[in-house]
Structure 1
Amino acid sequence: MNKCTSLIISLILILITGCSSNNFEIKLVTPKSFTPDQSTPIKIKILDREGKPVKGAKVSADLDMQGMSHGDISMKMQETENGVYVGQATFEMEGDYTATIKIDDNGEKWKGEKRFSIVYNHAQ
């Protein structure tokens, strides 16, 4: 399978699946590409077990490139609308990443991982 097909399949899986715990449904939304030295928005949508947006939670994420050891990209996420939290990341390399997401909603804590792929934006 070529790199482009693999990327498309990964992105589709990320967009259509949410990671469910007993208490939260987490959806990670990432762009398909990035521009070096520019911030790239990363969104996390959080729903409770009844499907309602989780408001006012403390949310953070660490992005780690798989197979590399050049350090994590850490983000504190800000709520921009009901249950949607946004952070900014500056990517140096295209590839496969793991987002380790931490949520604290009034003492109810959750930690989990989501994977995504991102490529360099060649259309500049």
Structure 2
Amino acid sequence: MNKFTSLIIGLLLVFMAGCSSNNFDLKLTTPKSFTPGQSTPIQLKILDREGKPVKGAKVSAKLDMQGMSHGDTSLKLQETGNGVYAGKANLEMEGDYTATIQIDYNGEKSLREKRFSIVYKKEQ
């Protein structure tokens, strides 16, 4: 193996280790229904490898409706305590969504995806 190939393999290994998404356990919580025109709460609980709450992370998410091309909804999640981060999204349609979650914690970055479904709230 020549030096160039060794360098490329080494860089790939470093890149993969730095972008590892297995360093956090994520639990995404969303309501089952929403009211169009109103903000919908999104909550994320983040635990580290040892199961301890992650405190002091910068967390953002992009919500993309599967199979649609009308763009995505971006939001920053604020820490509320005990590893919980919360934000509000303005959803336009009911359906299946993918949340692409970016976490920056102590110089470690992680990019993960979580899926959820949501429907319009029925008027009573």
Letter in 2 for 1:64: D
The runs of at least 4 aligned residues of structure 1 exceeding 4 Å deviation read none
% same residue: 78
SS, match of residue 36 in structure 1: coil
2:10 — aligned with what?
A: none
Q: What is the RMSD of the two structures over their aligned residues, measured on CA atoms?
A: 1.3
Query: TM-score, normalised on structure 2?
Result: 0.81
**How far apart are the structure 1 equivalents of 2:36 and 2:67?**
20
Q: Counterparts of 2:114 and 2:32 in 1: how far apart (Å)?
A: 15
Note the 1:38-77 alignment, pairs <5 A: 38-77=38-77
Q: Cα offset for 1:106?
A: 1.1
Residue 92 of structure 2 is matched in structure 1 by 92
2:83 maps to a residue whose letter is: G
In 2: Cα distance, 1:115 partner to 1:74 partner: 15
Helix, strand or coil: the match of 1:22? Answer: coil
SS of residue in 2 equivalent to 1:92: coil
Give the Cα separation in 2 of the matches to 1:59 and 1:71: 20
What is the alpha-carbon distance in structure 2 between the residues aligned to residue 36 and residue 22 of structure 1? 35
User: For each residue in 1:91-112, what CA deviation from the matched residue of structure 2 results, as whole angstroms up to 9, or x when unmatched?
Assistant: 1110000000000001111001
| Residue 79 of structure 2 is aligned to residue 104 of structure 1 | no
Following superposition, the deviation at residue 22 of structure 1 comes to: 3.1
Structure 2 portions without partners, runs of 5+:
1-20
Task: Give me the whole-angstrom Cα distance separating, in 2, the residues matched to 1:60 and 1:90.
Answer: 15
SS at match of 1:96: strand
- Structure 1 segment 2-41 matched on structure 2, within 5 A: 21-41=21-41
2:28 & 2:72 partners in 1: Cα distance?
17
SS at match of 1:63: strand
Residue 14 of structure 1 aligns with which residue? none
Cα deviations by residue, 1:15-42 (Å, 9 ceiling, x for unpaired): xxxxxx4311011001000001000100
Paired residue type of 2:98: T
For residues 80 and 123 of structure 1, the distance between their equivalents in structure 2, rounded to whole angstroms, comes to 31
SS at the partner of 1:61?
strand
